[in-house]
């Protein structure tokens, strides 16, 4: 391939120059990997949108500094798609400058992904503590008018969808315990006088009034698992999906970055 000297480096004067066989293989391998990463970015963004639309209540429990898994996935997917698109254009147009910028940017993105995956595993137990604290706050204000974040609707949705009841103790969390009659469901029991009642959303067959006089699961009609356990199981499943997706994309990114670096050297210095 003909190369023109530009002061301190060589570049191809045109994207239409004849390529040698090794150059052709390197170019189209990079284009293929860039297209794969573009598809991976779209997949991550779609997964984030799906998570936001179908599991909004669960995201509420695992928000970290205002960021939910759905927001992180959408942001990551859009960023990956954008940079992979630029990499594809740079490869096709033989732009050594753009390829250099993309290689550095992709290295930074890979570093952020490694930190994110490590963070998810390292702070797994902290998430469990946060989930329990938020659950305790929700059950305390259950059925209270105007309670922040509409705890009644959120808790009902979680109990129905995850087939759970209460926080950690199952149906007994909706009743009283001890000689002084303490309860987690403060408003429900004290103000609502539901001493032995569970919400209908706790019932295996959800019908109006099905939870009345059923605490603590007298007739085995209520879900026995606490919602903290159910939420953490749900979180573990989603974290595995997230980590698996990011790790798969990460492998392709590393290969693509190495390929772009070599292709840039080919453009600037030749084989």
Q: Model confidence over 191-250: pLDDT tens digits?
A: 767 878 899 999 999 889 898 888 877 778 899 999 988 888 887 877 777 778 878 888
Specify the pLDDT at position 18: 62
Specify the pLDDT at position 137: 83
Of the listed ranges 62-76, 182-196, 228-242, the least confidently predicted one is 62-76
Q: Please name the helix (run of DSSP H) or strand (run of DSSP E) that holds residue 4, with its range, or none.
A: strand 4-5
Quick one: average pLDDT of 80-97?
Answer: 87
Specify the pLDDT at position 223: 92
pLDDT at 252 over 70: yes
pLDDT at 37 over 60: yes
Q: In the beta sheet, which residues pair with residue 10?
A: 5
Helix residue ranges per DSSP H, the chain: 21-54, 56-61, 69-93, 96-122, 124-140, 151-162, 186, 227-268
pLDDT at 21 over 80: no
- State the burial class of residue 19 (Cβ atoms within 10 Å of its Cβ: 0-12, 13-18, 19+): middle
Specify the pLDDT at position 201: 92
- In the chain, % of residues over pLDDT 70: 81
Of the listed ranges 32-36, 113-117, 146-150, 226-230, the least confidently predicted one is 146-150
Summarised one tens digit per residue, pLDDT across range 148-169 is 556 788 888 889 988 999 988 8
Give the pTM.
Answer: 0.66
Specify the pLDDT at position 164: 92
Two structure tokens written together for 209: 């009034």
Higher-confidence position of 234 and 22: 234
Higher-confidence position of 93 and 65: 93
pLDDT at 16 over 50: no
pLDDT at 176 over 70: yes
Q: What distances in angstroms separate CA 255 from CA 32, 77, 79, 101, 156, one per listed residue? A: 11, 18, 18, 17, 46
């Amino acid at each position: 391939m003909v190369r023109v000297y530009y002061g301190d480096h060589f570049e191809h004067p045109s994207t239409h120059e004849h390529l040698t066989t090794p150059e052709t293989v390197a170019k189209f391998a990079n284009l293929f990997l860039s297209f794969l990463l573009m598809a991976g970015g779209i997949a991550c963004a779609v997964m984030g949108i799906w998570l936001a639309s179908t599991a909004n209540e669960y995201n509420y429990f695992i928000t970290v500094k205002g960021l939910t898994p759905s927001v992180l996935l959408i942001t990551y997917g859009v960023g990956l798609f954008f940079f992979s698109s630029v990499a594809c254009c740079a490869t096709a147009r033989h732009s050594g400058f753009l390829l250099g910028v993309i290689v550095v940017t992709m290295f930074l993105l890979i570093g952020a992904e490694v930190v994110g995956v490590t963070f998810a595993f390292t702070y797994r137990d902290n998430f469990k503590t946060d989930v329990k604290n938020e659950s305790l706050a929700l059950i305390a204000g259950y059925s209270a008018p105007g309670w922040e974040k509409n705890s009644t609707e959120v808790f009902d949705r979680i109990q129905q969808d995850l087939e759970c009841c209460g926080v950690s103790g199952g149906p007994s969390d909706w009743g009283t315990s001890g000689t002084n009659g303490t309860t987690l469901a403060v408003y429900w029991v004290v103000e609502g006088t539901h001493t032995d009642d569970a919400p209908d959303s706790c019932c295996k067959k959800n019908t109006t009034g099905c939870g009345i006089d059923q605490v603590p699961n007298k007739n085995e009609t209520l879900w026995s698992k606490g919602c903290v356990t159910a939420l953490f199981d749900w979180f573990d499943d989603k974290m595995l999906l997230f980590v698996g997706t990011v790790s798969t994309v990460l492998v392709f990114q590393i290969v693509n970055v190495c390929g772009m670096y070599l292709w840039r050297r080919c453009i600037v210095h030749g084989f």
